[in-house]
């Protein structure tokens, strides 16, 4: 007689609130349209930013599912409800179309996805969009830390719950609400939310892309006699011929310390002045400091200045905090409130005897 065997199956452990939230989002039906995942993300972005988002009609999307109305600051959004990995070629095609068709119409392209967008994919999308002057904000379901998509939704629970109440059954709505509460209660929620808020800020948007492009321009120009002569009317080429550069570690350190103080100014209006006589190496000093800075701020050089200015400055080069009420020749190290520094950044001194450059502490 055959022996009867029994198989015992362990019960599946209940999903956590966060896992349940993820499952609801990645299986949201439908994916597109006003009642779908696209509508959910558009509604959440509208609640978070205060802007009106309008869904694009099928066939005329041009790399976005929704966008704000035209204005001084415009956002386009692409929502992708995936259950598995991100199809790279689809995203590359969407971002390329956005960079080409929307380059004069939007400032920020938001990618919302229910799966994780890998670092390499995100970098490739950034490079494509930056060609059109467009910044990227990725709201995905990252495996490490809090998922940015969940953070956005948890930041506006009243909007998300109102939307879900209409389009989900009561049990799924309750699970979604519990997942949002779990995300909002996480100790890292505040920092994650600040990061998203900063990336959605018109005042800060584009600075990283601008900084990278500025660094590429500066390195190319400072390493080519032809480009330097054309841009600056002089052979400012420390990257091509280091023998032309005077080694001034004390001055470089002084400039760095002064700029760090400007960065730390909560009001963002500290001025940093590099002063010295004509031909004392002001531009070279600031350029060499910039090359050694980490991270490098945005740098703009404006070579030359007024020929009617005083020539009383000595050939000794100095760096200090200087008040606009103080003569440049004296360069007394007093605090300044001249509207320079901080995220708005920069200060130019065009007269002879002062450093002829701009730099941003952003």
Q: By residue range, what is the domain housing residue 263?
A: 208-359
174/92 same-domain check: yes
**Last residue in a domain, options 205, 230, 265:** 205
134/259 same-domain check: no
Whether 239 is in a domain gets the answer yes
Whether 5 is in a domain gets the answer no
Whether 255 is in a domain gets the answer yes
- C-alpha 319/C-alpha 288 separation (Å) is 14
Q: Which of 55, 51, 52 is nearest to 31 (CA)?
A: 55
197/239 same-domain check: no
DSSP state of 112: E
Whether 2 is in a domain gets the answer no
Whether 343 is in a domain gets the answer yes
156/234 same-domain check: no
**Last residue in a domain, options 173, 205, 237:** 205
pLDDT at 208: 65
Beta carbons of 168 and 35 less than 8 angstroms apart: no
Local confidence pLDDT in tens for the 362 residues of the chain: 555 555 444 444 456 999 999 999 999 999 899 999 999 999 999 999 998 999 987 655 556 788 888 777 888 888 989 887 777 667 777 777 776 766 667 788 899 999 998 888 888 888 888 877 788 899 999 988 899 999 999 999 999 999 999 999 999 999 999 999 999 999 999 999 999 998 888 766 666 667 777 888 899 999 999 998 888 888 889 998 877 777 888 888 888 888 888 888 877 778 888 888 887 888 888 888 999 888 788 888 776 554 444 444 445 556 655 444 333 333 333 333 333 332 233 333 333 333 444 555 44
First to last CA, the chain: 83
Whether 8 is in a domain gets the answer no
**Location of structure tokens 């909002």:** 184
**Per-residue pLDDT reduced to its tens digit, 111-140:** 999 999 888 888 888 888 887 778 889 999
**Last residue in a domain, options 205, 223, 240:** 205
334/185 same-domain check: no
Whether 260 is in a domain gets the answer yes
Q: CB neighbours (10 Å) of residue 171?
A: 8
68/34 same-domain check: yes
41/57 same-domain check: yes
Domains in the chain, number: 2
Reported pTM: 0.62
40/183 same-domain check: yes
174/232 same-domain check: no
pLDDT at 3: 56
Q: How do beta strands 135-139 and 75-80 pair?
A: unpaired
Whether 11 is in a domain gets the answer no
25/107 same-domain check: yes
């Amino acid at each position: 007689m055959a022996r009867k065997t029994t198989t015992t199956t362990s019960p599946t452990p209940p999903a956590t609130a966060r896992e349940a939230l993820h499952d609801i989002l990645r299986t949201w039906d439908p994916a597109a349209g006003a009642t779908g995942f696209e509508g959910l993300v558009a509604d959440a972005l509208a609640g978070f930013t205060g802007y009106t988002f309008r869904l694009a009609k099928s066939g005329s999307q041009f790399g976005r599912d929704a966008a704000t109305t035209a204005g001084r600051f415009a956002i386009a959004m692409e929502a992708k409800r995936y259950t598995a990995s991100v199809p790279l070629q689809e995203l590359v095609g969407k971002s390329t179309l956005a960079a080409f068709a929307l380059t004069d119409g939007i400032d920020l392209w938001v990618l919302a996805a229910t799966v994780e967008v890998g670092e390499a994919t995100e970098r490739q999308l950034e490079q494509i969009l930056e060609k059109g002057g467009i910044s990227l904000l990725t709201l995905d379901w990252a495996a490490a830390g809090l998922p940015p998509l969940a953070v956005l939704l948890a930041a506006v629970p009243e909007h998300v719950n109102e939307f879900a109440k209409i389009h989900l059954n009561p049990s799924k709505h309750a699970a979604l609400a519990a997942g949002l509460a779990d995300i909002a209660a996480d100790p890292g929620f505040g920092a994650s939310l600040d990061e998203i808020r900063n990336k959605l800020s018109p005042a800060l948007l584009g600075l990283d892309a601008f900084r990278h492009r500025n660094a590429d321009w500066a390195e190319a120009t400072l390493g080519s006699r032809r480009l330097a002569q054309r841009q600056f009317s002089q052979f400012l080429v420390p990257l091509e011929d280091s023998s032309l550069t005077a080694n001034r570690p004390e001055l470089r350190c002084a400039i760095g310390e002064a700029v760090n103080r400007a960065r730390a100014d909560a009001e963002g209006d500290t001025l940093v002045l590099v002063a010295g006589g004509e031909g004392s190496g002001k531009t070279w000093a600031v350029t060499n400091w910039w090359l050694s800075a980490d991270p490098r701020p945005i740098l703009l050089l404006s070579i030359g200045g007024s020929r009617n200015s005083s020539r009383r400055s000595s050939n000794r080069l100095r760096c200090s905090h200087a008040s606009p009420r103080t003569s440049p020749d004296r360069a007394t190290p007093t605090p300044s409130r001249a509207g320079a520094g901080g995220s708005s950044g920069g200060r130019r001194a065009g007269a002879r005897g002062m450093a002829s450059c701009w730099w941003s502490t952003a």
